[in-house]
A = this chain, B = another copy of it.
Amino acid sequence: MKKVVTFGEIMLRLSTNQGERLSSANTLHMHYGGGEANVAIALAGYGYNTYFVSKVPDNPLGKGVCRHLHGNGVSTDFLLSGGQRLGTYYLETGSGERSPHVTYDRKYSSFSEITGDELNFEAILKDADIFHISGITLALSESLRELVLQAVQTAKRLGVQVSFDFNYRATLWSQEEAAAAIKPILPHVDICSCGELDAIYLLSIPKARSEWDNQERLVYYYEKINEMYPNIAVMASTFRTVHSASHNELQGNLYLDGKLYQSKVHDIKPIVDRVGGGDAFASGILCGLLEDQAPAELVAFATAASALKHTIYGDCSQFTKKEITRFIEAGSGRISR
């Protein structure tokens, strides 16, 4: 069984009922989530041997994280325990024209204060096939930036493929800071989740011609990135058309061997919960690569996985490969009985 390791922060998410404001809520729903944990969970659900590397406090919330990961089949052998607190965010669920709203309370988290000597990536990454990280971790501290750099170097040395998701969050850092932190990582990356905005604002690639369509523009950016970082064999992203908080269209893009493959456009309405939609897509890409799926099927699979994620609560995808494949075949919405 192939082995996947992901490294990043997992947070407590506390979300309101639909149609309620956080400031007047009485009840909150608890979920645990974070990009890298979500990817680990999705890949465990697809049958891989997955490890989530992180740090959570030694309290009931840290224990809750473990239950969540175990229940979803992810190993916590390299999940550290200790530190001050679990990063937390409050999600005011959006609806229609009203956007969801996130209130972060993630500072001073156990993960953000992790130090290099706490983790032995040599041991962690042994025999791994893929090591997945994201830009969010780089944003959290100087020390984490160094740690990630060492980890990806170790990965390359051990022959582990490195998957990197840009995941730029404007609330965490500026574009300049992000660019400075991401660039040293990219020469070690094999699989990369990034899109047009990342190319322009973080990699300083000149804007594509405005008369080009979406697809042409994306090919242009991916070619440019490939020129800069020929080591990046796979690039992936989604086009998301946000009609409202309850209605998005989603199309997946996969760039492989100089060619762009696109999924059909999923019309997602109503959106039950879009948090984690990008992670479900990234997981689908990794799954397809691990299985040497043909590119067109691969991007169809990853996008379908993402679309399905939007229909359930919680950050992580809970669908098996069989369910996703059947979903692609059966079309949408018919009752199965």
Residues of A within 8 A of B (CB): 14, 18-30, 59-61, 63-64, 67-68, 70-73, 84-86, 88-90, 92, 94-105, 107-108, 169, 171, 242-248, 266-275, 307-308, 310-313, 318, 327, 330, 332-337
Contact = CB atoms under 8 A, between A and B. Distances in A.
A266 B97 CA distance: 8
Given A104-B337, A248-B333, 9 more contacts: A26-B26, A27-B29, A61-B90, A98-B311, A98-B327, A99-B334, A107-B108, A108-B108, A270-B270
Contacts of A332: 96-99, 242-245
B273 A337 contact: no
Contacts of A103: 59-61
A333 B246 contact: yes
User: Among A23, A61, A64, A72, which residue has the most Cβ atoms of chain B within 10 A?
Assistant: A23
Stoichiometry, as copies per complex, reads 6
Contacts of A244: 267, 269, 332-333
Contacts of A310: 96
Contact of A169 (B107, B270, B274, B337): B337
A333 B270 contact: no
A87 to B, nearest CB: 10
Contacts of A18: 272
